Structure formats: C-alpha cells, structure tokens
Amino acid sequence: MPKATHYGELIFGDRKIPCYNVPDENSKSIRIITLRGMDEVFTGKKGGGNRRGAQMPRFLCNHSYKSLMPNDLYWRIIDPIKFAINKGGIAIGYDATILPDICAIILQARNEKKLKDQSQAIMTEIVLKTLAKVGIIHEYIIL
C-alpha cells in the first residue's frame, strides 16, 4: 500500500479537502484528495465518508448524477485509491484531477434541471473558480 509523503489542504471558501502526495507505481507523486473530504465539501456535512463501505461519495449516489456520468469517470470513482497516512491510518481517495470531471457532471445536472437542491451546483462553481486560481498560481511558480 502506498504511503503519503506530504499533506496539505485544498480550501474552498469555508470548506477543505485533505490532499496528500502519494507515489504511484512509477515512483511519481500524485495528488490524492480524500473521499470523505470531497463529500464534506459538496454536502457541507462533516464525517461519514461513504455509506456502508460503498466506494462512491454520498453526494454522487444521486441518480441524476449517475445517469450523466461517462463510464470512464464511473470506474475511476468506484475504484478509489487506498493509502497509508502519517497518523498510522488508512485513507481512501482519488487522484485530484477527478474534481473538474465531477464538477462537470454536477453542472450538467443543473443545466438539465435535474437538481432539486442547488447548493451542490453553487459549491461546484466555488470549487471550479478556486481550481482555476490554484492552476494559475501553480503555473506562475513553475515558470
């Protein structure tokens, strides 16, 4: 099982997703966001992670989202990455690059009027704006 080498947080307004650097099978570092943290950002509810060991964040169990999800995204979501954290525990999460794909599904559901509650769509807009800023800052530092 891979072990996280660094810890940080992605901050979206007053919500946070724990983020870890974890080596992949080629010893390259990938950023992993936790399933629980992703659930908390999109639902505003603390703790719980997934239901009964399901391999999908709670907020994505909405039928409207599942029906819009391409197969490749579905398989990435139901096959999370398990990794060891420095506190001695095990965390479950996803390559951070999954966030924009998930955001696209939520916004598509909103555009197709499949959402009863708009709070996740509003949070999605906050996430996308923050990711855009992080990308710009990251690119500026690298150059």
For residues 21 and 38, the answer to whether their CB atoms sit within 8 Å is: no
Going by DSSP bridges, is the β-strand pair 15-23/90-95 parallel, antiparallel, or unpaired?
unpaired
Average pLDDT, the chain: 83
Crossing angle, helix 98-111 and helix 119-142, to 10 degrees? Answer: 140
For residues 30 and 98, the answer to whether their CB atoms sit within 8 Å is: no
Q: Count H helices and E strands in the chain, helices first.
A: 5, 5
Q: What are the structural domain ranges in the chain?
A: 6-142
pLDDT of residue 133: 80
Give the pLDDT confidence of 85-138 residue by residue, as tens digits.
987 899 999 999 899 999 999 999 999 999 888 888 999 999 998 888 876 544
Q: Is the pLDDT of residue 47 over 50?
A: yes
Give the pLDDT confidence of 25-37 residue by residue, as tens digits.
887 888 999 999 9
For residues 129 and 55, which has the higher predicted lDDT (pLDDT)? 129
